[in-house]
Each structure stands twice: as structure tokens, then as C-alpha cells.
Structure 1
Amino acid sequence: MYLYRPVGLFEYRLIENTDFQVFPPRLYWQPIFYPVLNQKYAEKIALDWNTKDQASGYIGYVTRFELADEYLAQFEIHTVGDDFCQEMWIPAERMNEFNQQIIGKIDVVNIFKGEAFTENAELPEIFKVSPNSSKEY
């Protein structure tokens, strides 16, 4: 199954640093990782949220990645709003396991830039990964 994940500039840079192989661990205030089930919903989030959000660097990248249906079957699908707004909730403590299930690389399928976007945006301290993390980013 293909899943999608809208990400901002700083999360994108962390993914890029892994050669597009894994998503970064969740931050202490992010209890879940929520990939979405379709590109339409991912693009809505990227355009409506990421392009207007300073913490996203005013840019939204829509990523697509594949995992085996058998693995994903254990996670419940949540509809949050319109019928097409479907996502899976992956507990933060299972991110390493989830990342190991990704088939191939994480692809960028669309990019939306907000009016305030600049190429030289700096990563806020809150997004820097702890040196105790199990994966280098």
C-alpha cells in the first residue's frame, strides 16, 4: 500500500539526510506519526497548513512511500473530517519498526510554497534531534 505524508521544510531536511529512507523520530510532544491514505488529503494538508506555518518553513512537501499491506493491517484507519481525510495512527515508540517496513525510498510527489517561504530558513531548535536518538539525521 502507498501512504502519503505532508511534511514541512525541516522534517523534509531530516528525511533527505537519510537518503529518503526513513522518517525522523517523533518529538516529545508528538505521540503519533500519522501517514495519510491518499494524495488528495496529503496535498490539502501541505497547501492549507504547511505553506502558512512558520514551523514548516512555509513549504509543504507531499511524500509517498510504500509498505506491505500485511504490516499495515494492524493499524486502525481514522477518518478526520471529510470522507477522503483518512490517516493511520502509528505510536511514536514504533517509528523505528515502521521505518524498517518502508519498501524502497520515500518519494516527493508534490511541493507547495507559501508566500513567506525562503530557501535559507533555519531549523528551529525544537526540531533538532536529540543526541540520544537511535538514528543519525
Structure 2
Amino acid sequence: MKAVTLYRPIGEKELILIAENDYKAFPPRLEWQPIFYPVLNEEYAAEIASKWNTTDEFGNYLGFVTKFEITEEEFKKYKVENVGGKIHNELWVPSKDLEIFNQNIITKIEIIKVFIGEKFKQTENDQVQHYIDQLKT
């Protein structure tokens, strides 16, 4: 089975939900979020996590980069959209398809980078603290 590696920038709340799913699935999108968009390269995911997630109060001013593999067959079902510069490529998965998308994740969702915003004070979650201690940039 062929696989495609994808990345997703997330904040603290999404990390906690992923951990509750044993790092096997992304949480459902919120009602107002029509798409789930993992990105195609680590550089772009790190750009979003460091510039956007670290300024977001909802994500506790933390930005994490996740990495995972999905079946090539599932990947090919969706459009790749360029949303800006050369590296800004996203896989646009309709929110209604996220459950099936999750079922086609081959590896556990791995946390590979963390970025800490200026307004971050502390976390009350032990797993989040573990990643902060382990991956601080």
C-alpha cells in the first residue's frame, strides 16, 4: 500500500482531542468549518503553527506541527489547492468526509514541532507539557 505524508498545524485544544483519540484521528470540524486542510510539506505547516497558532488565544498561544501518513488512494480523492506561495499547498477534504479520511490514516499522528507564543503562560495538560518540554524551539 502506497502512502502520502501530510502535515497539519494545530493548537493546544486540537492536540488534546487528538491525544484522546490515541493519536489515530483528527477531531470533527466545527459547524462553521467546511473543510479540513492538512498541508503537503513541513515548512508550510511550521509557518502556520509559528505565525498563526501562536497568536491564537483559543489554542492557548501554542502551535504544534503534526505529521502523519494516509493511503495514496484516499489522498487522490481530494483536490490540492495552492493558497499563496510556492509551498502553500493544502489538501482540501470536505468536513463531511473527515471520518473516512481518519480511517485511512496509516500511522499515528506524530507531534514533530512546537512553537510558543509570547502570551502563552502555562498548560494544565500533562501531554501538552511533555511536548513543550521535549520539542521547544
Per the normalisation by structure 1, the TM-score is 0.86
1:119 to 2:103 alignment: no
Bigger helix share: 2
Deviation at 1:64, TM superposition (A): 0.4
Q: Aligned to 1:84, which of 61, 83, 87?
A: 87
**Match for 1:98: what amino acid?**
F
Report the equivalent of 2:16: 13
CA RMSD of aligned residues (A): 1.3
**Match for 2:42: what amino acid?**
Q
Report the equivalent of 1:66: 69
Moved more, 70-79 or 2-11: 70-79
In the alignment, the residues of structure 2 paired with residue 43 and residue 108 of structure 1 have an alpha-carbon distance, to the nearest angstrom, of 12
In the alignment, the residues of structure 2 paired with residue 54 and residue 114 of structure 1 have an alpha-carbon distance, to the nearest angstrom, of 10
Identical counterparts, % of pairs: 45
Q: How many residues get paired?
A: 122
Q: Deviations over 1:54-113 (max 9, x none)?
A: 112100010000011122112111001101000011001111100000002000110001
Moved more, 70-79 or 57-66: 70-79
Deviation at 1:120, TM superposition (A): 3.2
Secondary structure of 2:108's partner? strand
- Alignment map for 1:95-114 (pairs within 5 Å): 95-114=98-117
* Deviant stretches of 4+, over 3 Å: none
Deviation at 1:121, TM superposition (A): 6.2
**Match for 2:121: what amino acid?**
T
1:54 to 2:25 alignment: no
Structure 1 gap segments, 5+ residues each: 123-137
1:37 to 2:40 alignment: yes
**Match for 2:5: what amino acid?**
Y
In the alignment, the residues of structure 2 paired with residue 105 and residue 18 of structure 1 have an alpha-carbon distance, to the nearest angstrom, of 10
Per the normalisation by structure 2, the TM-score is 0.86
